[in-house]
Amino acid sequence: MAGSVIREDRAGVCTLTFNRPDKLNALSVEVFETLRHYVEALQHDDSIGCVMLRGAGKCFSAGHDLGDIGTGEVVPSRGWHNETLRMLERLPMPVIAAVHGHCYTGALEVALACDFIVASSDARFGDTHAKWALTPVWGMSQRLPRRVGIATAKRLAFTSEMFGAEEALRIGLVECVWPAEEFDARVDAFSAVVTANSRFSQAAYKRLFDATDGMPMDAGLQWEVFRGEGRGADFLDRVTAFQKRKG
């Protein structure tokens, strides 16, 4: 099971790497089975403060394995891929897609299930469902418009155009673009910044964002006040440590 996706834990960061470089990390049923196995294990793993999705070799992933589709791939249940990505999305810790090279269609759906995307300057994106006479079943129709707006999502879906990292940044698909030659170091440094903050706060924020997404402003504000989770157990330790540094 470990071959198609590799898990590596270091300093509170769990890196899940798609590991089919000879196939440009095309997403097969086996890849999703392995990804789901790791996601299930991470649901209650208190040792991890951040999850990073990456791809081995030349790219993040070229997308859904068309060979699998063509031979009539067998999945455990209808909506199984979609369900797996929702599980990934609802992990309590921040989940970040670190994209280099290709990130097309199914791979973009995986990246969109992460809290946000950081990109190498050589990253390329696209939604090519219409090119192959397909419609999305992994979440593209819901997550892409929420990320970039409905008009831009329609443009990308209707044209199947490929676009680079700077355009992805302009439309709000990715949060930042780093030079390809610095990408690994920048990803490591960024994940260290994320894991330095309170895991309690980050998990509570994720639940708050998820619960109030799409609510009217007043309803969301009421939820924040009356159903917020307050202070974490690490609050006093963090304040004390800050005061000692300041003194």
DSSP string, 48-99: -SEEEEEESTT-SB--B-HHHHHTT---SSTTHHHHHHHHHHT-SS-EEEEE
- Quick one: 167 exposed, middle or buried, by C-beta within 10 A (0-12, 13-18, 19+)? middle
The span from the CA of 216 to the CA of 78, in Å, is 32
Count the alpha carbons within 13 Å of 119 in the hemisphere toward its beta carbon.
27
- Could you give the CA distance from residue 178 to residue 131 in angstroms, rounded to a whole number? 30
Q: How far apart are CA 123 and CA 55, in angstroms?
A: 12
Question: Which residues of the chain register pLDDT less than 50?
Answer: 1
Segment 191-228, tens digit of pLDDT: 999 999 999 999 999 999 999 999 999 999 999 999 99
Domain locations along the chain: 5-195, 199-246
Give me the helix-helix angle, 140-148 and 150-159, nearest 10°: 130
Q: Per DSSP, what are the bridge partners of residue 95?
A: 51
What pLDDT is recorded for position 1? 43
Distance CA 109, CA 141 (A): 9
Q: How far is CA 174 from CA 10, 169, 214, in A?
A: 24, 5, 21
Sign, Cα dihedral of 175, 181, 183, 188: negative
* Dihedral over alpha carbons 58, 61, 67, 69 (to 10 degrees): -170
Whole-model pTM: value is 0.94
Q: What is the assigned CATH class of domain 5-195?
A: alpha beta
Which 8-state DSSP code applies to residue 4? Answer: T
